[in-house]
Amino acid sequence: MPKRFIWFLSVGLLLVAIGIWHGATLQEGHTWVGDGPGYIMQAQAIAAGTPFQGTNYAPNPYRFGAPSLYPPGFPLLLAPVLAVFGVSIPALNGVMVLLLVFFAGVIAWLFKEELPGMSLPFLVAFLGFHPLLWYIKHHIHSDLLFSALLLLSLYAYEQASQEEQTCVRWTFITAFLVFAATLTKVQGLILPITFCVYSVLRSRKLSSIALVTLLAGGSAYVFYQFVYLALDPHTGSTYVELVSSTASRDHGSMGAVMWQQSIRIKNTLVSLWANGRPGLYALKMAPFYLSWPFFFWGFFRRMRTRFSSFEVFTVLYTASLLPWSFYWDRYLLPILPFYLFYVVQGVLELTKKISPRVTAALFLVAIAGSMWMFSGRYLHHYHRSVVYNMAGPFASADVQHFIAEAPALLPKEAKLMGEQPRSYALLLDRLATFPHRGRFGLPLFHDLLNLNVTHVIANERLPENLKALLTTHPSLFRLKYYTPSIKLYALHPDALPSTILPAHAPFPRHTVIPLTLSPL
């Protein structure tokens, strides 16, 4: 049989196995925390034909928690699913499993000419079955789609750079993928920057392909930042401004932020080798440290013999994570295939003079070790999913009862304040915003009035300043709902003495209150 057919068959069977594993091991419930509810609400607005009318989540200008609207790429993908199935967790989980398989398939396609023999299936299987991706696929996030688009863009750019006869076609494909990636996450702008840097390093000038991708990425960013966000009624500040203000306010210096991010990135890479077995910490650290000589050998060997945009992207994307003031393991997802790729390249380079049988035996040992690591991690994950439930804080009976009964207690024009506001905005179909810290007593109550807040959801995660306000000024609130773990209060501003009422009218919803920034 032709080698091409054998390759497609073997990779296809591997991807089917990955899909079956992740589909069969989906856990009940859903974590309604984080970005997922925001993406779902945005997709609902697109499905309803009202993409520019905002969602029920309204950012608090005193505290950046999340943008009011994300780039529309991922919500556009979810919109048809929500239009057909509604907010169906099985349907949304199915989308995430398909995206995971798609991501694994893109990795195989990207490296199909780079890794010989067993090395490519090993790399795809290691990432495809990895417990980190098992965890990521249980959350409604854009990272799997974004990572796949990044890798496809790199592949298309390499084709456009190498195949002169099909340059126009591949240039158009590359520009489209860059546009799609930037409309999925603004970090997609790293792609045209990568291509510009690479073209200058390779030929001492900007190539036409790099310029076209720069135009495509810039157009996507301008559309999101100055059209899509500008039309949202709940914000008047850009995403980058809010993130940068949070970084300066919370950390004080960019150096501190970058150092903290580097530690987090290192911890993610360490966890890639975790075995999930208590007391075997050294067996997690040993492969992590052993991987780096192979990584650097493979990386610098490629720079000398086959320098490509892969190396520039690896450095620039990793560097782009350092200035951010927040971090999740999934942010490193686009880099993990390259980290493993250079490790495998280093192993192949250092063992190429050894018998092929010995090299094959080494990969068999690596496969056996991976299975041993994964088994411990999956047992640990399943234990956590049984004990803590995938639904997290929204799994308790008290919260479930509150979600069921609160809509009858809240007028449609209500605006809620509490932790996890995007979750409450989706589940209760009311406006919701984050609480903020740093203000106390009556000035804090005036902030609530300025933000048009009508109700406060109190639980153990509520900031201490707001808990103190509820305790020290009970006359300003009316208890509307009570359980031991969650309470609903309605604001009662009529109880304020007229002499201390705020002298100004409440801020309209679209107004952003200026933030006082500490110096860098």
For 458-486, give the secondary structure using H, E and C. Answer: ECCCCCHHHHHHHHHCHHHEEEEEECCCC
What is the full per-residue pLDDT of the chain (520 aa) written as tens digits?
Answer: 577 778 888 889 999 999 999 999 887 777 777 788 999 999 999 998 887 677 888 888 888 777 778 889 999 999 999 999 998 889 999 999 999 999 999 999 999 988 887 889 889 999 999 988 988 998 899 999 999 999 999 999 999 887 655 588 899 999 999 999 999 999 999 999 999 999 999 888 888 899 999 999 999 998 888 776 666 666 544 455 545 554 455 555 778 888 888 898 988 898 888 877 766 666 668 888 889 999 999 999 999 988 999 999 999 999 999 887 677 888 999 999 999 999 999 988 887 777 777 777 777 788 888 887 777 777 766 655 544 444 566 667 788 888 889 999 999 999 999 988 999 999 999 999 999 888 888 889 999 999 999 999 998 888 899 999 999 999 999 999 998 889 999 998 887 766 455 544 443 333 333 333 223 2
- 96: Cα within 13 Å, side-chain hemisphere: 25
Closest CA to 55 of 92, 91, 82: 82
Cα separation, 274 vs 268, whole angstroms: 10
Taken in order 188, 189, 192, 193, the sign of the CA dihedral is: negative
Looking at residue 384, its pLDDT comes to: 57
As given in the structure block, the two tokens for residue 234 are: 């709940």
Give the SS3 label for residue 400: helix
Backbone angles phi, psi at 278, to 5 degrees: -60, 145
Closest CA to 153 of 188, 187, 185: 188
As given in the structure block, the two tokens for residue 227 are: 């059209």
Say which residues have a Cβ less than 8 Å from residue 436's Cβ, sequence separation at least 6.
Answer: 60, 62, 63, 447, 463
Return the DSSP state at 510.
T
Closest CA to 251 of 188, 303, 324: 324
As given in the structure block, the two tokens for residue 492 are: 């009662």
Taken in order 434, 440, 445, 449, the sign of the CA dihedral is: negative
Q: CA end-to-end span of the chain, whole Å? A: 63
Cα separation, 46 vs 83, whole angstroms: 9
For the chain, helix (H) and strand (E) counts, in that order, are 20, 5
**Which residues are paired to 455 by β-bridges?**
416, 490
Beta strands in 85-141 (DSSP E): none
User: Which DSSP string corresponds to 445-460?
Assistant: HHHHHHTT--EEEE-T
Cα separation, 439 vs 464, whole angstroms: 10
Cα separation, 491 vs 476, whole angstroms: 6
Give the SS3 label for residue 252: coil
- 227: Cα within 13 Å, side-chain hemisphere: 11
Closest CA to 420 of 90, 144, 56: 56
Backbone angles phi, psi at 446, to 5 degrees: -65, -35
Which helix (H) or strand (E) segment holds residue 416: the answer is strand 415-417
Looking at residue 241, its pLDDT comes to: 53
As given in the structure block, the two tokens for residue 383 are: 């234990």
Q: For the chain, how many residues are written? A: 520
Long-range contacts formed by 156-160: CB under 8 A, 24+ apart? 157/191, 157/195, 157/209, 157/213, 157/309, 158/308, 158/309, 160/209
**Residue 40 CA: distances (Å) to CA of 10, 70, 92, 404, 496:** 36, 11, 9, 19, 39
Q: Are 224 and 183 in contact (CB under 8 A)?
A: yes
Say which residues have a Cβ less than 8 Å from residue 38's Cβ, sequence separation at least 6.
Answer: 55, 57, 66, 70, 422
pTM as predicted: 0.87
Sheet with 431-433, side-by-side order of all strands: 431-433, 415-417, 455-458, 487-491, 477-482
